[in-house]
Structure 1
């Protein structure tokens, strides 16, 4: 099966993060881009991708590429770009030499992996005079919680015969129960969620539609009924941190894939979202439990 996927600050870079050495070599031989000046580096220790350590990461990569001349390094600290960087060398010969030095080199106890980028970097295009502007790639933000539901504004009634509220009486707000018999004038019922009262419908809907928070376990839907756990594992095993696949015998088409942490599961979810599996597009979300 061929997967054509991309991730990172440089649009179109080949993503092989988390592949084993032989697996990565197979991908580069069969589907990899041709040699060029831009190297895609992944599997970098996550601690080096923190904002206050990015300058240290760039300095380490620059020193490792010597005597080659590094003209640009792109490394970010956001959720989806952690553990990755793009290194642009002055020419192809220097890029080939740098790739041999970087491949498998350990940075803070973690062996980095390197491949050629799929497209030219902005730095190279600027030198060649073909740069036409930055191409902004909008990526989904990691879910951070439940957004507050906006209150619904009820239109004024056209019924002119409706009597106005009594002086000093405040009608209940939208979603609150009506005035209870015997309650003090000017007060509605108990606030939603108090004294056994249900929440307003709009708040219930907001909670049910809220995206799940990042989780080490992924929830798969639309899995082909003929696919077994080994077939599903074949897609996810290549990603760093993969642990196991759990099928749901009572519910064909569903499965769970577990990783060591939520960052590794998030990377796998983004790269395999909608991938074709036996003619069906996988739907992947974070597990809610």
Structure 2
């Protein structure tokens, strides 16, 4: 029964898009479906807590909700900031797609007094629902091009060239080299030459999962910082990117392996 109620709660908010009104709940899809549910929720909480207080993180085991999640903040500004900073961010090797949820979560609706039991909403939405579905089907059929991928439709993501990738028939590309994929080791640059390992350790060990700092004696100004996994390194990178040491802002990226 509890799982059924969760499914219904998620179904009411699972469709979202750019046209949704800004609110406290963000909808995330294109998540890696191989990640276990508990790990996914903990990782989402770790990544998005930097933008504000999180009320709850919703994700479900059901097939129709695979690869999706909802993060509920305590205010719309936090949700908006999370979307602008994290939309497209690589998360377990897949770029997240993030929008405002089209409906607020039950926990927020109950707090502001606008909560309506889903049974009443369902009966109301079913009136004329069949007619809207038929109209949508007809308009979709008319708008659909005769062949996929033509008449200006966007190409599949798999066909979009990746900056720094191969191809091009042997012609040297002027595009910048592709960044390293997310991993547990950070590459820190633009450090003052007198920066010590202890200075960096004092900064990074405030983040969960910190393991060690490695500096290169032959190359002052750079360092490698290792974490237990890529989720902890990502949170640290988001928190310290641009942090100033002796009036010099650090540059942090993932290390190449």
Q: What is the TM-score normalised by the length of structure 2?
A: 0.43
Which has the greater radius of gyration?
Answer: 1
Which is richer in helix? 2
Q: What is the TM-score normalised by the length of structure 1?
A: 0.39
